[in-house]
Structure 1
Amino acid sequence: MVEVPRVARINPRRAVLADPQVAERHRVCGKCEKPVGRGRDGKPGRTEGFCANCGTRFSFTPKLAAGDLVGGQYRVEGCLAHGGLGWIYLATDRNVSDRWVVLKGLLNSGDADAMVSAVAERRFLAEVEHPSIVKIHNFVEHTGADGVPVGYIVMEYVGGTSLKQILRTHRETGAIVLPPARAIAYVLEMLPALGYLHSLGLAYCDFKPDNVMQTDEQLKLIDLGAVIAMDDRDSPIYGTIGYQAPEIAKTGPTVATDIYTVGRTLAVLLIDLPQQGGHFGALPSARTEPLFAQYDSLHRLLLRATAGDPGARFSSMEELADQLTGVLREVLSTDDAVPRPGMSSYFGPPRGVFGVDSPVRGLDIVAALPVPLVDPGDSAAPLLAAVVGGSVEELERALAAGMRSVATADGESVEVALRLIRAALEHDDVGEARRRLTDFAAVYPEEWRLAWYRGQAALLAGEPDSAATEFDAVYAALPGEAAPKLALAAARELSSAQADQPSVSAARHYDTVWRTDRSYLAAAFGSARILRQAGDRTRAVRVLDQVDPDSARHIDAASTAVEVMLDGRAPGELSESILRDAGDRVRRLTLVTKGRAAQARLRVLTAALAWLRAGNAPAQRDSLLGEHFDEDGVRAGLEHSYRDLARETDDTWERFDLVRQANMVRPRTTL
């Protein structure tokens, strides 16, 4: 969905630093993060020494020089960069056709046994095989001129540009951050690699822009120095303050700690994240960050990924990728108004449209909202696929026989319990639904569908504010999904209707859903309702015009557009162009019944008669809906429409009233 600019491969020799030095502002203690090696009184700081705060030795001078032979195999060419564990070197592999490799220090310690142990502990990295992860070739030991043994990890050379460098170059053009879609695309590209490491029981620990390299159109993780087994409770944990999860010192490396680093990295690429003590600080709110105000779903995704509670974050890289992909679709559609629908992993398609021919009601919303998909891994999934809808009692009877064979250790299938809750809601039995929801919450308090169905129960009970709170929680958990936004918009529209004022929040969510996925027709009608209520008839009509002509609701949308154009307008607010536009729309409609066609004609001709009687006259002589565009012609058209409606109705008294109106409106004649 996103075209990312290509990055040319860099000649290895050109990547070598001519004068490898670490700027004083970047010199910090590797243990306590306090500044070290800083100048004073006009004198430059020391490049080697001991931290004044904790006494840990520091060194910012390269330990290898061009020409050094490491492990009897790798000839050093020079320094490439300085990282958390020291300098990173470019070398050639004398044993394999002088191929280019990168040497990265694993441990700088005077304890030879500790160095050997560190090398042994890292050998598992050679088993890592993924196209988006740098390949580990070897592990070697080398004793420098100072007699201190150092272990080195030997990696493939990836000649490209890091995301940190790409961001820096982008800032040179005057832009502080990357375009949102591009930043999201970069992160999405790396999530499968991180998920792969997790499948091996490994945590990456130090995901950040510095450690992602782009060459041509491919991205790779280029530094595995901080990778550690999640069950390793003894080895040191490396990371970068500002990216690292706050709880990692207590919990150790987990999927949740890596999720946190991904969220922080995406934030750094997206916004000018404020710094605290030289490190990136907390996420700003939507009130102070315009990007978050523009892309609410993106803001919510970052909030969940970087939640203080590890249990509140996404459960896996796969879940994060799924939701981030949904957010990307929304971002792109917001930018260029081109829909980008996608299959949901959590919800089925919308079941209907609410608020077309009548005011929005909770019961109609519940009937139209998508249904959460059944977990295929649930023991009762096959059974539920075979049963048809019905009341709670009917479903319980239908499931009784099958339940004995699918009962779980908890005594009941999760999906069966949720299906019975849904049945109660679909039959407007709020009390039964809430009773079952309470029982379910006692066993599965973290299940997101609890909030989804609690929101529906609140809608049925006439509590739109409570419904909005529940749907907002689902939206926060699944920011890339359309269904929670649609439900939230509907609840807030109902709430605003009680306050008799348009809901800006509902309008925004309706608009986001409709822009992204045109199968959510309820979002189009909802957006049009709120725009009309706010007095913006032009935009309301524009939204309704976007309903596909092949849609089953196209006629409803077109008819509603005419209604929006004309209803409630005083003659002074009308014009010939508006009336002719409305007439052309009705003329083009292929209406199913003669009665519905007559109603559409009535709406236009009634407005036209009021406009003519206010003293206006058309500038063009063309007819309006086949009638002369003068008072007699419009009256004749109205008479025919009333008589057509009278012939369509089965109600005798309604027929009498329609004939009476036809007689009253018909043009006067003389004998």
Structure 2
Amino acid sequence: MTACTRAGCAGTLQDGFCDECGLAPVGGAHGPVSTPVTAGGPVSTRSTASRRGSTRSGRSRRGRLGAGLIEVPVVPYRDPATAVLANPEVAEHRRFCGNCEAPVGRGRDGKPGRTEGFCTKCGSTYSFSPKLAKGDVVAGQYEVLGCLAHGGLGWLYLAQDRNVNGRWVVLKGLLDTGDAEAMAAAVAERRFLAEVEHPNIVKIYNFVEHPDPRTGSLVGYIVMEYVGGQSLKQLRSERDERGRLRPMPVGQAIAYAIEVLPALGYLHGQGLLYCDFKPDNVIQSEEQLKLIDLGAVRRIDDEDSAVYKTDGYCAPELSEQGPSIDADLYTVGRTLAVLTFNFDYVGAHRDSLPGPADVPVLARHDSFHRFLVRATDREPDRRFVSAEEMGEQLTGVLREVMAAEDGVPRPGFSTLFTPERRVFGAHDWPSLLNPAELVTALPVPQVDTGDPAAGLLATVATDDPAGLLAALSGARLSTVEVKLRIARAHIELGDLASAEALLVEVHGEDEWDWRVDWYRGLAALAASDPAEAYARFNAVYDVVPGEAAPKLAMAAALECRGDYVTAGRYYETVWRTDHSHLSAAFGLARTRLRSADRAGAIEALDSVPASSSHHLVAQLAAIRACTCDRVPAEVVEDELIAAANRLEAVELDAERRALVSVEVLTCARDRAVAGAVGSGRTLLGAALTEPDLSRGLERCYRELARLAPTKSQRIALVDQANAVRPLTWV
């Protein structure tokens, strides 16, 4: 092996890179970074651990791509020289007039189209020929190696900076030097890039000019950071056996969006809009993403600059209303859709999405589908309001998607909802849920810390609704949070009219506040109207698809309605993703039991961790799942033995153990009475025959009689013992 030549590094070179610092050798062919848009280049399938090192620290680390929830394949560094195009030209089907967007430069009668000329529709000049060639030196500083690719505003060239130790850079020139709007956009790009400083946005180093070899006029060039790897469009270039683009794994695509959303949020915070987000404009290098091609960036208050967009990705209102934050976020949603499934996004579904019936991945991941629907809603006010909000919900969706893919829970803290206030449906399992009891058990929205009364509400320590109303009665503040808290107290007290009056006020102040629907859902449960409750919680789910609380509430409402199959699906989604939602485990077990899936019910109960305070409750429920509501002839001996073994394994007080033993022995005795013949094994010390099981029951009832607190209870239990006692001659 060859030792690394970098000072202070003790690593060795493997596959052209150091196994310690992760960099190419000093003076080697590999530069530290690669091109923004390149052709070819394999994607590494090795894990991050297989490439030790950091481009900065020299220590082994993992990038944050994937948010710690999924391992995204690494895109390795690449020799920049291999990225240069051998025959740089713009395909004819991509040649359009920069002024009127009419097709130009098209071939006729078997002859190729011209790369330079005049638009026959508006008369504007066009040129698709590279302006720089290998060996050209721009501004006396940047030596050109060749063309890398072409973008919306022009060619990209690879060059080396003679003044900075041969640093690789990218020069971006204009597509059409005679287009005033294109020139203005290039100048705008230079201005905005000079202001931007974010790790996920390409850096600008300089802005230079160089004569056009055809006209002699000066052409402007942006000098940009040279980013390694491949674009998301290239990463999705693999095709299936039918020649169609193979969709990217949903989790991987979501990880990319989560990584790049902070960059968009940063731009928005600087008063800038990106305007043209799409797979072409995002590059992955190693474990980092970079936004490139900021030619369409403009200030939020800019109403005069030309709007650059890409059909199939841009928001439908863009032409009439102009760019906006929600229009930027719309493009993220469209990009996610394009990456994860095939559809006609520039034709039939240019401003819409296909449904789950046509797209299996949407049917499989309901939360992902709802996320895309909200992100790409035709009504701008219904979309996500910020990159931060979008990223938070998308992270929740990613947790759910990955848990569904590999069965490993991905718990996460919610900033919008409290945890469950009480585990419902556990201690009286498997009794039917009482809708009114859910009102004080389900999570509730967190208090908005920006509300003027947030501090006041934090000091109100009582959970008693009457006490809370008394505490807030003298408060001078009447904010949204105060109104919602009082409304919740009224719901818990059953005063639904007073609660609705306050919710109407909150809705009047902000018609998009989803918390109004949440509390109306709780009010519907209090009124024993699970159908209305489901509708309200479903509306909340549409708005916050990454949250567990709406799914848990919908599952409970559906269970109250008797729709056990659908309720079970939502319970399963919640429990599979996060084992802190214990109500979901017991709900999943109940719905499976009522769907005649006893084994599935027991499996759900067994998944409650041993560290949970409800582990014992779950084990007792699993025993009941074996014994309750059974047709004696259908009871399987192995199930009874398993229930008995489970009972003997748990720690219980004498009274509780005797009560549960009665249930198991009664089930076994009924089975024997129905004619089942035992195999010779014993159950809780009794042979599987009617006389022995009856004697076992008698012993349990007499044990309960000894523990009974009153005389009347003892007498009743002794009578039961005598009733089950087998007949004898003595």
TM-score category by the smaller chain? over 0.9
Match of 2:418 among 342, 348, 354: 348
Match of 2:661 among 601, 609, 612: 601
2:729 corresponds to = 670
Q: 1:652 to 1:476 in 2, by over 3 A?
A: farther
> Which structure 2 segments of 5+ residues have no match?
1-68
Deviation at 1:573, TM superposition (A): 1.2
Match of 1:204 among 261, 274, 278: 274
Provide the secondary structure at the position in 1 that maps to 2:319: helix
Is residue 440 of structure 2 the alignment partner of residue 367 of structure 1? yes
Question: Is contact 2:231-2:282 (8 Å) kept?
Answer: yes
Letter in 1 for 2:662: L
2:207 corresponds to = 139
**TM-score, scaled relative to structure 1:** 0.92
Match of 2:85 among 7, 10, 17: 17
Question: Whole-Å Cα distance in 1 between the matches of residues 99 and 702 of structure 2?
Answer: 90
Match of 2:105 among 37, 51, 61: 37
1:247 corresponds to = 317
Question: Is contact 2:133-2:144 (8 Å) kept?
Answer: yes
Once the two structures are superposed, the pairs formed by residues 250-399 of structure 1 within 5 Å of their partners are 250-277=320-347, 282-356=352-426, 357=428, 358-389=431-462, 394-399=467-472
Question: Is contact 1:101-1:155 (8 Å) kept?
Answer: yes
Deviation at 1:142, TM superposition (A): 2.9
Question: Is contact 1:207-1:261 (8 Å) kept?
Answer: yes
**TM-score, scaled relative to structure 2:** 0.85
Letter in 2 for 1:595: E
Deviation at 1:209, TM superposition (A): 1.2
Q: Per-residue displacement from partner, 1:470-527 (whole Å, max 9, x unpaired)?
A: 10111111111100110111112222x2xxxx43321111100000111111111111
1:425 corresponds to = 491
Question: Is contact 1:119-1:140 (8 Å) kept?
Answer: no
Question: Whole-Å Cα distance in 1 between the matches of residues 367 and 575 of structure 2?
Answer: 14
Letter in 1 for 2:555: A
> Which structure 1 segments of 5+ residues have no match?
none
2:53 corresponds to = none
Q: 1:334 to 1:665 in 2, by over 3 A?
A: same
Q: 1:393 to 1:636 in 2, by over 3 A?
A: closer
Is residue 504 of structure 2 the alignment partner of residue 438 of structure 1? yes
Deviation at 1:298, TM superposition (A): 0.6
1:534 corresponds to = 595
Letter in 2 for 1:523: A
Deviation at 1:394, TM superposition (A): 4.0
Q: Per-residue displacement from partner, 1:259-301 (whole Å, max 9, x unpaired)?
A: 0111111111111132444996632111111101111001111
Q: 1:232 to 1:281 in 2, by over 3 A?
A: closer
Provide the secondary structure at the position in 1 that maps to 2:173: strand
2:287 corresponds to = 217
Match of 1:640 among 688, 695, 699: 699
Provide the secondary structure at the position in 2 that maps to 1:153: strand
Q: Per-residue displacement from partner, 1:151-193 (whole Å, max 9, x unpaired)?
A: 2211011131111111114768987111111111111111111
Is residue 729 of structure 2 the alignment partner of residue 659 of structure 1? no
1:506 corresponds to = 567
Letter in 1 for 2:352: A
Is residue 226 of structure 2 the alignment partner of residue 150 of structure 1? no
Deviation at 1:579, TM superposition (A): 1.1
Is residue 653 of structure 2 the alignment partner of residue 583 of structure 1? no
Letter in 2 for 1:345: T
Match of 1:162 among 215, 227, 231: 231
1:97 corresponds to = 165
Question: Whole-Å Cα distance in 2 between the matches of residues 454 and 245 of structure 1?
Answer: 32
Q: 1:277 to 1:341 in 2, by over 3 A?
A: closer
Runs (4 or more) in structure 1 with deviation over 6 Å come to 111-114, 172-175
Question: Whole-Å Cα distance in 1 between the matches of residues 181 and 468 of structure 2?
Answer: 67
Moved more, 42-51 or 314-323: 42-51
Deviation at 1:52, TM superposition (A): 4.3
2:534 corresponds to = 468
Q: 1:335 to 1:112 in 2, by over 3 A?
A: closer
Question: Whole-Å Cα distance in 1 between the matches of residues 482 and 130 of structure 2?
Answer: 64
Q: 1:531 to 1:254 in 2, by over 3 A?
A: same
Structure number with the higher helix fraction is: 1
Question: Is contact 2:145-2:158 (8 Å) kept?
Answer: yes
Question: Is contact 2:125-2:178 (8 Å) kept?
Answer: no
Question: Is contact 2:276-2:308 (8 Å) kept?
Answer: yes
Question: Is contact 1:65-1:78 (8 Å) kept?
Answer: yes
Question: Whole-Å Cα distance in 1 between the matches of residues 281 and 703 of structure 2?
Answer: 74
* Percent identity for Structure 1 against Structure 2: 54
Is residue 691 of structure 2 the alignment partner of residue 625 of structure 1? no
Q: How many residues align?
A: 657
1:562 corresponds to = 623
Q: 1:584 to 1:567 in 2, by over 3 A?
A: same
Once the two structures are superposed, the pairs formed by residues 52-91 of structure 1 within 5 Å of their partners are 52-91=120-159
Letter in 1 for 2:502: R
Deviation at 1:89, TM superposition (A): 1.2
Question: Whole-Å Cα distance in 2 between the matches of residues 61 and 146 of structure 1?
Answer: 10
Deviation at 1:662, TM superposition (A): 1.5
Deviation at 1:329, TM superposition (A): 0.7
Question: Whole-Å Cα distance in 1 between the matches of residues 240 and 88 of structure 2?
Answer: 24
Is residue 190 of structure 2 the alignment partner of residue 129 of structure 1? no
